[in-house]
Chain A
Amino acid sequence: MSWSARGLSLLLLNAFVTAVLVVIALLHRAGPSDDGVRVHWLVQSQGESTRYQSHFKLPASTATQALYIESLSGAATIYLNGTVLAQRHIPAVVPALGGSQPMLVPLPSALLHTTGNELAIEQAGAPSTSTFIGASYLGDEALLAPHYAQRHFLKHTLLIALIIATLVLAGVSFALWLRRRHEKIYAWHALTCVAGSAYCALPISPLPLPSIWLDALLLLFFLWFVVGAAWLGICLASKPQPKTWQRTTYAVFSSSALIVIASLFCTPQDFRDAVPWAYMGIIAIGTYTTATVFWRQYFTRWDNTAFWMLGAVMCICMVSLHDGALLLGLIAPDDGFWLAYGAPPPVVVFTALLLRNFVNALTESESLSRELEQRVAAREAQIASNYQALQRAESDRVVSAERERLFGDLHDGLGGTLIATLSRLSNEGAGDSAVALGVQTALEDLRLTLDSLNPEERSLRAVLAPLRERLANVCADAEIALVFSLNSLDDDFELPKSQTLHLLRIVQEAAMNAVRHAQGSSLRITLHRIANDEGVKQLEVLIDDNGRGMPTSADARPGHYGLANLHRRAMQIGGGIEWLSLQPGTRVRLTLPLV
């Protein structure tokens, strides 16, 4: 935002604040000019008391007459023709501070004389310099009552409502501070609210205290309110230096001590005379400090916070201006200090900012803790998976090493012997004998066992590959066209190790049977996944030849070792095997349930 735009915004804010204050002023000033007759008082000082006197004639109206005083300070007794009409007990504080309250006193017709009447107000214990009486009117009670009600609302009801609301805020802040001692800002907020409320409540509370004590208490509350508000603003704006904090503490406590000492040793009149200057000092220093700090902090940046803080400060400055003028005697003290009306907006702003900070901190801490939880969970999962991978790698390594050792042993031992035997049989012309066939089968079985032991080759396709190669060679020798169809099998399709070896043996044995006995010209081996009638997933293995077909069914030849063997192997892995006739040829169909 550019500087001119900032200026304009501030100007608008200023205008708004001024308008609000003008409305308050107009409400205060709305006197009953047409609804009553202005009363002119004669002031008489009687030592430590003051007496106001006025004479009037009974008007022609027959309605109930009343006396309406816009503002009157301190305790008072009102007489009509020598008879006590009303008594009021409120503390006699410095009138400028807001101790003046409106009064509406009905004049009983029985006491009124047609010839002439005397009204008198006595204020015991208050010299005329310390009392104040605002504009007063005589007239029809029904007409004057609304004026009184409006002013009573403004000077009493509204004030009490504001005080209660502020005290509630103070309670919340204090509770927060108790839980979070290191966040002093909540304590400052509570102090500001309590001091402000006490300051506003004291003049309208019927406390039976000597007037000098009341004045001193008011001054103390005012001091703490200003200091609390300034410090709260500074804390909200930036992180203050500990040195600043120390100095402020010294200043506040020494000022407070000074006020207490002065109230103990000065005469009430001297103290009362000094009070306006003390207020002036507090207002001046407080306003200056707050304004400069805020100006420095908030005018250099431009965001919502800055806008509202500057608005709040402006509000305080305007009110201070009015109250300062009041203290200097430039304005009649009809209305007293406006602080009570000027303070709530900044307090609301401060509270809102404080709440926002609190909520932000809460949200951030929640999101951080959530993030932490997620990170911990992810890390745990990673560690677990790493651990599993490690375990698997370790077990693979062990199996691999063992398999390598087995290869070495079998290469020189059993394998070598089988090969030598096979070679001897072949060299002696018995290469096709049953013995040679048995030795060859044993060798092939050994190879299958070793193939199935490879820990790195888990996918069925990869495990089948060596068998495919060997079968391809056998088929090439026998001039049989071999087709392996694995297209519908995923690359990473795996079977449990216990099933794999049996499956390899079944495929090898069925295929070798076809090569040796079927006398066909083609052999097709198909593996694919299917679902049976009940929807159970299965692996289906088909070994099809186009040879002469089976002489009889498998069941009819229970003694046939090869077929019984295939049957047994299929049963062992929970599968089923069947022999089907093709035209021409035979199909061996193995089904294996997949878990």
Chain B
Amino acid sequence: METRNRVLVVEDEAQTRERLARAVSADANLELCGTAANCAEARVLFAEQRPQAVLIDLGLPDGNGAALIRELIAVAPETLFMVITVFGDETHVVEAIKAGASSYLLKDASALRVARAIHEMFEGGSPISPAVARHLLQRMQVPSEPKRAEPAAQLSARERDVLLLVAKGYAYLEISEALDVSVNTVGSHVKQIYRKLAVSSRGEAVYEAVQQGLISDLSSGRPH
């Protein structure tokens, strides 16, 4: 039997945490390696268990989930993070993506859906809503536009097309038909967009830090 993907659940609300934990445990290909109710527990468990995926809530009692994602990704860049949210609204989702999350999940998702979403994430898919796409279009640069002084993510023309169609309300299948590519390609474009946003947001953070005199030597410094 192949090795099961190890999943850590970080959620402050006990009932929801338990439900998510049971959903993960219920799937034969996933292994629950721990549950944490706050940032401190999450750090300890992460260091001990080194999970391959983390389901994480943004609003934690002792800190911000996005900051935690950034911190943990810096330690283990190969880990996949999935933010769990009540509404999947763009404010939360974009904040998480900028921190480095690859996917998001609604908190009331069924056990089946939870497992499916984690598998999809491992397969490289990234869900995206029109509101999120619109948000990304507004903040990410297109190559034809003049360069700004600060580092900003640059979208390829195809990535921009994908975002435009998502923003108009097209589903992945419809986009793949419109652009004459496979559904997987659409998914990988979205993943690439997410990655660019995360990288650029890290760049932005460094840039901000340099601007504020927090980091004097870029080569030795690493953003926290």
| A interface, CB within 8 angstroms of B | 404, 407-408, 410-412, 415-416, 418-420, 422-424, 426-427, 440, 443, 446-447, 450, 454, 456-457, 459-466, 468-470, 472-473, 476-477, 484, 486, 491
* Bound: A555/B15 CA distance, A: 42
Contact with A along B162-177 (1 / 0, CB 8 A): 0000111111000000
Query: Would B87 and A470 count as touching, CB distance under 8 A?
Result: no
- Nearest chain B CB to A560's CB is how many angstroms away? 26
- Name the interface residues of B120-134: CB closer than 8 Å to any CB of A: 127, 129-131, 134
Contacts of B129 in A (CB 8 A): 465-466, 469
Known: A415-B86, A427-B15. A459 touches B109 (CB 8 A): no
Query: Would A411 and B85 count as touching, CB distance under 8 A?
Result: yes
| B interface, CB within 8 angstroms of A | 13, 15-16, 18-19, 22, 59, 85-89, 91-92, 106-110, 112-113, 116, 127, 129-131, 134, 166-171
Query: Would B109 and A420 count as touching, CB distance under 8 A?
Result: no
Known: A419-B13, A476-B116, A477-B110. A456 touches B134 (CB 8 A): yes
Main SS at interface, chain A: helix
A408's closest neighbor in chain B, by CB?
B91
* Bound: A408/B95 CA distance, A: 13
Q: List 10 A-B contacts (CB under 8 A).
A: A411-B87, A419-B107, A427-B19, A462-B167, A469-B127, A473-B110, A473-B113, A476-B113, A477-B113, A486-B169
* Bound: A467/B109 CA distance, A: 14
Query: Would B112 and A462 count as touching, CB distance under 8 A?
Result: no
Query: Would A450 and B87 count as touching, CB distance under 8 A?
Result: yes
Contacts of A404 in B (CB 8 A): 91
Query: Would B169 and A473 count as touching, CB distance under 8 A?
Result: no
- Nearest chain A CB to B42's CB is how many angstroms away? 19
* Bound: A459/B13 CA distance, A: 36
B17's closest neighbor in chain A, by CB?
A423
Query: Would A456 and B87 count as touching, CB distance under 8 A?
Result: no
Known: A454-B131, A465-B169, A469-B127. A424 touches B87 (CB 8 A): no
Q: Which of A426, A443, A456 contacts B19 (CB 8 A)?
A: A426
- Nearest chain A CB to B133's CB is how many angstroms away? 9
* Bound: A472/B172 CA distance, A: 12
Q: Which of B15, B88, B106 has the largest number of chain A CB atoms within 10 A?
A: B15
Query: Would A420 and B15 count as touching, CB distance under 8 A?
Result: yes
* Bound: A105/B18 CA distance, A: 142
Query: Would A466 and B88 count as touching, CB distance under 8 A?
Result: yes
- Nearest chain A CB to B178's CB is how many angstroms away? 11
* Bound: A236/B135 CA distance, A: 68
Contacts of B169 in A (CB 8 A): 457, 459-465, 486, 491
Contacts of B107 in A (CB 8 A): 419, 423
Contacts of A407 in B (CB 8 A): 87, 89, 91-92
* Bound: A423/B108 CA distance, A: 7
Q: Which of B92, B110, B171 contacts A411 (CB 8 A)?
A: B92
Q: A416-B13, A424-B15 are in contact. List 19 more A-B contacts (CB 8 A).
A: A407-B91, A407-B92, A410-B86, A411-B59, A411-B85, A415-B86, A415-B87, A419-B107, A419-B108, A423-B15, A423-B19, A427-B22, A443-B108, A456-B131, A461-B169, A465-B166, A465-B171, A473-B109, A473-B113
B129's closest neighbor in chain A, by CB?
A466
* Bound: A440/B108 CA distance, A: 8
Query: Would A422 and B108 count as touching, CB distance under 8 A?
Result: yes
* Bound: A412/B61 CA distance, A: 12
Query: Would A462 and B130 count as touching, CB distance under 8 A?
Result: yes
A460's closest neighbor in chain B, by CB?
B169
- Please list the 3 inter-chain residue pairs (A to B) with the smallest Cβ-Cβ separation, ordered nearest first: A461-B169, A462-B169, A423-B15
A464's closest neighbor in chain B, by CB?
B169
Known: A415-B87, A457-B131. A427 touches B18 (CB 8 A): yes
Q: Which of A419, A424, A456, A469 contacts B86 (CB 8 A)?
A: A419
- Nearest chain B CB to A52's CB is how many angstroms away? 102
Query: Would A420 and B91 count as touching, CB distance under 8 A?
Result: no
Query: Would B168 and A491 count as touching, CB distance under 8 A?
Result: yes
Contacts of A465 in B (CB 8 A): 129-130, 166, 169-171
Contacts of A418 in B (CB 8 A): 108
Q: Which of B92, B127, B131 has the largest number of chain A CB atoms within 10 A?
A: B131
* Bound: A423/B22 CA distance, A: 11
* Bound: A418/B15 CA distance, A: 11
Contacts of A446 in B (CB 8 A): 87
Query: Would A462 and B108 count as touching, CB distance under 8 A?
Result: no
Contacts of B92 in A (CB 8 A): 407, 411
Contacts of A486 in B (CB 8 A): 169
Known: A423-B13, A423-B16, A468-B171. A477 touches B87 (CB 8 A): no
Contacts of B170 in A (CB 8 A): 461, 465
* Bound: A51/B110 CA distance, A: 142
- Nearest chain A CB to B157's CB is how many angstroms away? 19
Contacts of B171 in A (CB 8 A): 465, 468, 472, 484
Query: Would B59 and A412 count as touching, CB distance under 8 A?
Result: yes
B135's closest neighbor in chain A, by CB?
A456
Q: Which of A447, A465, A472, A476 has the largest number of chain B CB atoms within 10 A?
A: A465
B21's closest neighbor in chain A, by CB?
A427
* Bound: A466/B133 CA distance, A: 12
* Bound: A456/B136 CA distance, A: 13
